[in-house]
Structure formats: structure tokens, C-alpha cells
Amino acid sequence: MSELDETAIKPVAELAVQAGSAIMRYFGNAKAQLKSDGSPVTLADAEAEAIITPGLQRLFPGTPVIAEEAASSGILPETGKEFFLVDPLDGTREFLAGNHDFTVNIGLVRDRAPVAGVIFAPASARLWIGADRCHTCDIAPGERMGSSRNWREIHVRPLPSAGLIVAASRSHRTAQTEEYVARLPVGEYRKAGSSLKFCLVAEGAADVYPRFGPTMEWDTCAGHAIVAAAGGVVCAPDGRPFLYGKREQNYRNREFIATSDFDALMRVREA
């Protein structure tokens, strides 16, 4: 596949927006079942994935797609050096609770690193795209990309020496996360569900998003790509690269830090 700039990734974004339309048909009356890992799944998850996976296969024939619901059923194609990671409905618990903090996530991995990502928040009608640069726009579920409005380029903000804004999970706070944050000069917490915490960092509305609870690669890939395109970094807490394609671990992640400037963050923590 050739390099994906924002023009080339817009058809991928349109798949996310169309999937968002399918999701919103269930919003407010969805029924959940529990998967083998205890996490909830709805018909909205399945219908969104049924739009995205064949759409990607049509747009990028030969590029493997690892999608959450198929993976939960044991469908894990060989990936090679380049593949898509799809979470058709990230934040299912928020969706079921009637909150707006749920997203559609599509990310592209090349040589174990995210190189492009799309996040769509259907209930908020907001779209984020990261490739060579990072932009956000307003678009309603089911609209075509030509109808999008208010396109604007976004960037992480320089990390302040005090008064950090921390993006915090609504549903997945852990003692390790609290311990990490306790060593930061925090000025404000901004709570968000799903991959929206990455978007807060990317657009300069938060400085750091620490995650010490379990995630899967399809949860993080799109957000990782968007933060990187906006000038930030996602890495292990010790600064090592945060890699993808961990098939031997069933695509499960370890802890990570998303921030505008990791070296500056370490200086602030050590001050």
C-alpha cells in the first residue's frame, strides 16, 4: 500500500461515519450480551463491524483486518507487516448507559507502529483523522465526507511545568493509574470514555492520558495514530515504543502513556 495521507484515508473515515449511523439506530434501546471475557456486546457492534471490514477489504484488497468481534470469535488472519485494527464500537458500556462517549476506531499498522487512524464519535458528530497531519471536523452519522464541516488542523499543546490536564477514564481507573498521577502537578481532570481520551491529548485539551488497566490493540491503534499525527507520543511508561501485532498475546496491550511530550513529562515527574 502506498503512503496514506489524509486524502487517501477519507474513504476509511467515511466507513466509520456509515458505521456510526448503524450504531445510532440502537442508541437508547440496545440490549447486551456478555462475551467470554465478560465484556458486553450488542447488535450495534456487529452491524458496525459488518460495514467496516468488507469496506476495508474492498478499498485495500490484500491488507488484513483484525476486528474486535471477529477476533472474539477466533477469526484472526495472518497480518504481516501491514494490517488494519478495528474496534467497531469502543465504549460499549458508555453506549449502553446512554452516555455519548463511544466511538468507532479504525487504525492502520505498518512495521508494528500505527501510521494512520480514524475515530468517529457518532453521538457527538465529531470525526478525527490522523495520517501525515491531524484534523478534526463535524459530520453527522451517515453523512458523506463532502458534507463535513469546520475542518481544522489540531496539535498537542506544549507540556506545562504545572497545572497539567489529565485525561481520565470514566470506567477504568486503577490503583496504578492513581499512583502514577499522584506524582504529577495536576491542575484538572477531564473524564472521557472510549478512545476520546486520545483525542483530548491530540487537540491540546489534555496533556497526558495514563492507562494501566488492560486494553486491546484495536482499542488504542487509531488513537495512537491520531496523537502521533498531532505531534504527541504514545509509549510504555518507561519510554519504550508501544508496539502492535502482538499475536502471541492475542493482541493484548500492556500499560501506556499518551502525552504531548514524554521527555518533558518525565522532567515534571522527577522535579
Q: How many Cβ atoms from other residues are within 10 Å of residue 239's Cβ?
A: 13
Q: Confidence band (pLDDT; 50, 70, 90) for 2?
A: very low
Residues whose CB falls within 8 Å of the CB of residue 226, separated by 6 or more in sequence, listed in order: 117, 119, 128, 129, 130, 134, 198, 199, 202
Q: How many Cβ atoms from other residues are within 10 Å of residue 189's Cβ?
A: 12
Residue 207: name the closest of 260, 168, 253 by CA.
260
Going from the C-alpha of 81 to that of each of 67, 108, 247, the distances in angstroms are: 17, 11, 12
CATH 3.40.190.80 fits 164-270, yes or no: yes
Residue 234 pLDDT more than 90? yes
Q: Which residue has the cell 488484513?
A: 64
pLDDT at 32: 78
pLDDT at 4: 62
For the record, the C-alpha cell of 268 comes out as 515534571
Going from the C-alpha of 139 to that of each of 56, 102, 142, 262, the distances in angstroms are: 20, 15, 8, 32
- What is the CA angle 51-148-20, rounded to 5? 25
For the entire predicted model, the pTM comes to 0.95
How does pLDDT run across 120-176, given as a tens digit for each residue?
A: 999 999 999 999 999 999 999 999 999 999 999 999 999 999 999 999 886 666 889
Q: Which residue has the higher pLDDT, 207 or 5?
A: 207
Q: Which residue ranges make up each domain of the chain?
A: 6-153, 164-270
Residue 205: name the closest of 157, 237, 268 by CA.
157
**Domain 6-153's class?**
alpha beta
